[in-house]
Amino acid sequence: DIQLTQSPSFLSASVGDRITITCRASQGISSYLAWYQQRPGRAPRLLIYEASTLHSGVPSRFSGSGSGAAFTLTITSLQPEDFATYYCQQVHTYPVTFGPGTRVDV
């Protein structure tokens, strides 16, 4: 299976900050990477697919980049509702796998 690692695993930030989360794959996955946000007690929410395509309705402060085995999720001007856990997911090779998550907290 393709393993995904995320860094950092925990990030302390403030409203208005710009943050970057990194996701690395154990082998090349082209651009077959998605990013999800999960708030406590809620279902995951798709933010980015195909590494850099913003899902419909997602604010433009979210952006994704990368290809091959290294990817980043950037949030510019962090808002109160952005404090959550973020997961990457590879859909290049089955079984689909997810990263361990990055918790963004105050």
Partner 1 sequence: QVQLQESGPGLVKPSETLSLTCTVSGGSISGGFFFWNWVRKSAGKELEWIGRIFASGDTNYNPSLKSRVSISIDTSKNQFSLTLNSVTAADTAIYYCAREAVSAAAYDSWGQGALVTVSS
Contacts with partner 1, residue ranges (CB under 8 A): 32, 34, 36, 42-46, 49-50, 53, 55, 87, 89, 91, 94-101
The total number of residues shown for the chain amounts to 106
Query: Please, what is the minimum distance in Å from the beta carbon of residue 15 to partner 1?
Result: 26
Token output for 83: 């404090």
CB 88 within 8 Å of CB 97? no
Token output for 89: 């997911």
Query: Please, what is the minimum distance in Å from the beta carbon of residue 91 to partner 1?
Result: 4
Query: Please, what is the minimum distance in Å from the beta carbon of residue 60 to partner 1?
Result: 18
